Chains A and B, each alone.
Chain A
Amino acid sequence: MLLIPCPYCGERDEVEFRYGGAAHVSYPEDASAADDREWSRYVFYRPNPSGRFCERWVHQHGCRRWFNLVRDTTTHEIAGSYAIGQETSA
């Protein structure tokens, strides 16, 4: 079970959080202008790297805030967390 550093509440057990997949995937500015390929990329495609990964979590059973986490998908080591809207800091 991961120990996840919520940027607001500090380190808490994974069970308090919900996973949100890859970070930095924005909703298309104008969805209606996206062609089928572009739209499918937004809806169904997400980065899936082996190694360092910027991902989203929400402190579901804590402060209910979404945030980003940098975690290694091969070791589960967490490098740090940062707020939604910020660039990767870790």
Chain B
Amino acid sequence: MAESHPDLLWSSPEPRGSYDVVIVGGGGHGLFTAYYLAANHGITNVAVLERGWLGGGNAVRNTTVIRSNYLWDESAAIYEHSLKLWEGLAAELDYDILFDQRGVLNLAHNLGDAREGVRRVNANRLNGVDAEWLDADGVRAFCPVVNTDPGIRYPVLGATLQRRGGIARHDALVFAVARAAAGLGVHLIQGCEVTGIEVTDGAVRAVQTNRGRIAAGRVGLCAAGHSSVVAGLAGVELPIQSHPLQALVSELLEPVLGCVVMSNAVHVYVSQAHKGELVMGAGIDTYNSYAQRGSFHVIEHQMAAALELFPIFARAHVLRTWAGIVDVCPDASPIVGGTPVDDLFVNCGWGTGGFKATPGSGWVFAWTLAHGEPHELNRSFSLERFETGALIDEHGAAAVAH
């Protein structure tokens, strides 16, 4: 499959002693932030510091569900902004990222789910986000392999459908945005662990790394599951908890599932990737962890639930299971903005649903780093909201907000 990738991706420069902006974390959020700093704001003296390898965390461990049908206005705006970016990304980055708008179904299994689904569809439409409500017959017509037998334990009463939602190829996205950023002069520095953050007179001055001190005009933290640890280096506390989130993949199969199907009530979200494998996510493990692994019973329950909805999958095999570390916020919404330390900004808390947001997240975070204050789209996603109480609580909308 190497043929589908270009001949040159990026080079690996030695770090300079100083950058205008240093981004900590070379995942999707960090890479897009760097790319848009260069592409939209002309700030190219930028380094992305990655402890391991680019995109080695959640960027390539997620199930690539892309949608924007969030309930609250603030969420719908930022995720819809992201989805619009996705729609132009292959052309903008000149890379086949296999973005495929095959539609995302969110199933409703009880009257509460259905009420919530209708509420979300109505809100989405008024926010300019495409959304439809399907009854059980509509679900069957759109996705015939979903078991719509009314006699199953959690029968399908209906679903929300976002036709513009879909999937993409995650590692291609990492390659694409990293290449684009590097092409604009951004330094991608791998194997570079931030071990300290220098704060003087209430402002950030530099980061200490295993490859030496790097001075920075502004620092943006995009460390996902490690956000608490990295922010802690600057004495900044975050209302974040890190948990394992497991996923699994089957062997390559002839086409069987043509859209993305999600069910919060029974913790299933699944799609069939372009190559042909079923990609499925499980529920979050309850305990805090940085181990990138979860417990077997979560997978076991996941399989039983999946077969309730998709009996056709019974004979498929699980080839691999794995886990990412998700940074979960109390209101299941991200934190994108300033910190009590001047010139230190944070982009975290995307929890279980960050992949879809990466272009939008990078776009607003780049704006924020360039201007030193939040863009209109991320103004509400501030740390201050935990003090004022102005939370953006997407729990009610989706217990597992993938």
Q: Which residues of A contact B (CB under 8 A)?
A: 1-2, 14-15, 18-19, 21, 36-37, 39-41, 43-46, 48-50, 53, 55, 71, 73-76
Complex: chain A residue closest to B287, CB-CB: A19
Point out the residues of chain B lying under 8 angstroms from A55, CB to CB.
287-288
Q: Which of B119-127, B235-243, B249-257, B271-279 makes up part of the contact surface?
A: B235-243
Total contacting residues, chain B, CB less than 8 A: 23
B295:A37 contact, CB within 8 angstroms: no
B387:A48 contact, CB within 8 angstroms: no
Which residues of B193-248 have CB atoms within 8 Å of chain A's CB atoms? Answer: 226, 228-229, 237-242
Point out the residues of chain A lying under 8 angstroms from B290, CB to CB.
50, 73-74
Point out the residues of chain B lying under 8 angstroms from A2, CB to CB.
287, 295
Bound together, the chains give a CA A20 to CA B287 distance in angstroms of 8
Bound together, the chains give a CA A24 to CA B287 distance in angstroms of 16
Chain A: interface secondary structure? mixed
Q: Which residues of B contact A (CB under 8 A)?
A: 226, 228-229, 237-242, 286-291, 293, 295-297, 330, 386-388
A48:B242 contact, CB within 8 angstroms: yes
Tell me which of B229, B289, B386 contacts A44 (CB under 8 A): B386
Point out the residues of chain A lying under 8 angstroms from B297, CB to CB.
1, 14-15
Point out the residues of chain B lying under 8 angstroms from A14, CB to CB.
295, 297
Q: Which 7 A-B pairs have the closest CB atoms?
A: A48-B228, A19-B286, A44-B239, A1-B295, A40-B387, A50-B290, A44-B386
| Most interface-central of B237, B288, B293, B296 (chain A CB within 10 A) | B288
Point out the residues of chain B lying under 8 angstroms from A41, CB to CB.
237
Chain B: interface secondary structure? loop
The minimal Cβ–Cβ distance linking A39 to chain B, given in whole angstroms, is: 8
| Most interface-central of A14, A18, A50, A53 (chain B CB within 10 A) | A50
Point out the residues of chain A lying under 8 angstroms from B238, CB to CB.
45, 48
Complex: chain B residue closest to A74, CB-CB: B290
User: Given the interface contacts A50-B229, A73-B290, does A1 sit within 8 Å of B296 by beta carbon?
Assistant: yes
The minimal Cβ–Cβ distance linking B27 to chain A, given in whole angstroms, is: 17
Point out the residues of chain B lying under 8 angstroms from A53, CB to CB.
288
Bound together, the chains give a CA A74 to CA B229 distance in angstroms of 12
The minimal Cβ–Cβ distance linking A12 to chain B, given in whole angstroms, is: 13
A18:B286 contact, CB within 8 angstroms: yes
Tell me which of A1, A19, A44, A74 contacts B291 (CB under 8 A): A74
Point out the residues of chain A lying under 8 angstroms from B287, CB to CB.
2, 19, 55, 71
Complex: chain A residue closest to B292, CB-CB: A74
Bound together, the chains give a CA A36 to CA B386 distance in angstroms of 9
12 A-B interface contacts by CB (under 8 A):
A2-B287, A15-B297, A18-B286, A19-B286, A41-B237, A44-B386, A48-B228, A48-B229, A55-B287, A74-B289, A76-B289, A76-B291
The minimal Cβ–Cβ distance linking B31 to chain A, given in whole angstroms, is: 23
Point out the residues of chain A lying under 8 angstroms from B293, CB to CB.
76
B241:A50 contact, CB within 8 angstroms: no
User: Given the interface contacts A19-B286, A73-B291, A74-B291, does A44 sit within 8 Å of B226 by beta carbon?
Assistant: no
Known: A19-B286, A71-B287. 15 other contacts (CB 8 A): A1-B296, A1-B297, A14-B297, A36-B387, A43-B386, A44-B386, A45-B237, A48-B229, A48-B238, A49-B229, A50-B229, A50-B242, A73-B288, A73-B291, A76-B293
